Amino acid sequence: MNLRGNISYDEPMAKHTSWRVGGPARQFYQPVDADDLAAFIAGLPKNEPILWLGLGSNLLVRDGGFNGTVIAMQGRLAEIQLIETKAYVGAGAACAKVARSCARAGLGGAGFLAGIPGTMGGALAMNAGAFGGETWQIVRQVTTLDRAGRLHRRTPSEYHIAYRQVSGPADESFIGCILDLTPSNAAQEQEAIRALLEKRSISQPTGKPSGGSTFKNPPGDHAARLIEASGLKGCRIGGAEVSPKHANFIINADEASALDIERLIEHLQAEVERQQGIRLQTEVCIIGETR
């Protein structure tokens, strides 16, 4: 295999997750481009566990680490090409950068992406949303890569898309997409994004290490409301704390371990279910081995 990317072993995931926790990944690869990525994927054992990593939000890696291969996409396959009312976006492009690029070009429809603290690959994989918008509302086509290193181009009709949930062809991962946008006023689009980000900074703990929204909102309700109504705002286990600013955020307040965070998640689920009769479902992905 003539690989051109960077490979490392026993890479501490605490360096790459927004919670700043997580044990080592057995293998950690940063591809150069799509061809390099395809060659690397094709050379992996068929049963090798793979974790696709963007900005490290929405992800809790346990303290024992990840016994598999992490493919780090931050800054890789991050192209953004705008042609008329279409945007081709690589999976490694930060959602906030996509929003700003489209706004500057006078394209509307992607502004909500400014509120998603991840990359387009992650947004596609979970139908991420913010400020009332969801990723797949603007997706026209996706490019995927299978475990044999083959590329596929697919349309939304080939996927089951729901709230924070996407399922489709097995063993394929998103490496890019085409977004369908609308002509708009560049100044107005940029001002709308500024207002959204100001709203987020007021209501969310943007200055603290967190994983983003911890739980999915139950139908017709909000996880934050249920947590607060259960008297759990500010609740703490070890160094992990329910944010006093927004109850659906768990922050690393004081050198938390991944175990602290996971125990707090489980405590919130149990207490909200006991008091409110609703079992909260995690929005964050929890992976890896306990220490």
What is d(CA 30, CA 196) in angstroms, rounded to the nearest whole number?
Answer: 32
Name the active-site residue from 173, 210, 213, 257.
213
What is d(CA 36, CA 33) in angstroms, rounded to the nearest whole number?
Answer: 5
What is d(CA 232, CA 224) in angstroms, rounded to the nearest whole number?
Answer: 10
Q: Is 283 annotated in the active site?
A: yes
Ordered alpha helix ranges (H), the chain: 34-42, 95-104, 120-126, 186-203, 223-229, 258-276
What is d(CA 18, CA 117) in angstroms, rounded to the nearest whole number?
Answer: 9
Greatest Cα-to-Cα distance within the chain, rounded to the nearest angstrom: 57
Q: Label residue 286 exposed, middle or buried (CB < 10 Å: 0-12, 13-18, 19+).
A: middle
Name the active-site residue from 172, 189, 241, 283.
283
Name the active-site residue from 62, 76, 100, 164.
164
What is d(CA 278, CA 270) in angstroms, rounded to the nearest whole number?
Answer: 9
Query: Cβ–Cβ contacts within 10 Å for residue 57, how many?
Result: 20
Report phi then psi at 96, rounded to 5.
Answer: -65, -35
Cα 207 → chain centroid: 18
What is d(CA 223, CA 268) in angstroms, rounded to the nearest whole number?
Answer: 10
**Cβ atoms of residues 89 and 177 within 8 Å:** yes
Number of H helices, E strands in the chain: 6, 20
Q: Is 164 annotated in the active site?
A: yes
Residues noted as catalytic: 164, 213, 283
